[in-house]
Amino acid sequence: MTRSRLLAPLALLLPIALVAGACGGDDDAAGSDGGGDDRLVVVTTVSPITSIAADVIGDLARIQGVVPEGTNSHTFEPSPSVSEVLEGADVVFANGLQLEEPTLALARDVAGDATIVELGDLIVSPDDYLYDFSFPEDEGKPNPHLWTDPTLAKGYARYIADTMSEVDPDNAETYEANRAEFDGIVDELDTALRTALDTVPEDNRKLVTYHDAYAYWAQTYGWTVVGAVQPEDLQRQERVG
């Protein structure tokens, strides 16, 4: 495999997959208190959403991620500082699909008139949910990690841009231009990834990952996820050891 073909999938996966942040976000209630800053306050949950929101919004709003890096967002219990951030939010972007239920519940309670958007629920319909060994269908919780699939990452950008254009119509043109730029970069990386993956024999297209975050990616690119090392499993083994 040539060097360019080797780097192509890495170039895509590093900015979009955000594996280490698959169930985490930025530092708890990251960002300043915004004293004297009259920009809109956009609160995000996990780091992939924070990253995409930053690409679309730029410096037109103050973006604050609230789920700490390395934290299990499914069970993360927001601190009082997170509650304070949510109280001041104009817009809250979450993944939904039961990824960050405690944080979403708090947002609904304290965010007042803020626009709360569960992006994952807009991007995929129930008919397109994926279930697997970590997210069994009989438990009713689909795999929520859509953003590792570039075709779905574009959906996050689209709905973020649409929401911001409604909340802040004076800057709608900029949000749309930023979204289009994001899409263009993702399309180029998607093409590079497909070219690289074509070099892998079909029988070898099996994936073991750190965290079960690649179900949608695998479906799009014709791979099979055969196993995943969950962070909580490693922590449990360390405690036993």
Mean pLDDT of the chain: 84
Spatial separation of the C-alpha atoms in residues 48 and 22, rounded to whole Å: 7
pTM: 0.82
CB-facing half-sphere around the CA of 41: CA atoms within 13 A: 24
Q: How far is CA 81 from the centre of its chain?
A: 22
Q: What backbone torsions phi and psi does residue 218 show, to the nearest 5 degrees? A: -65, -40
Q: Is the distance from CB of 231 to CB of 213 less than 8 angstroms?
A: no
232 confidence band (pLDDT: 50, 70, 90): low
Q: Looking at domain 3-201, which CATH architecture does it have?
A: 3-Layer(aba) Sandwich (3.40)
The answer on pLDDT for 235 being more than 70 is no
Q: Is the distance from CB of 210 to CB of 229 less than 8 angstroms?
A: yes
DSSP letter at 46 equals B
Each residue's pLDDT tens digit, 188-230? 989 999 999 999 999 999 999 877 889 999 999 999 999 887 6
Spatial separation of the C-alpha atoms in residues 14 and 150, rounded to whole Å: 12
Spatial separation of the C-alpha atoms in residues 120 and 46, rounded to whole Å: 12
DSSP letter at 29 equals T
Q: pLDDT value at position 201?
A: 96
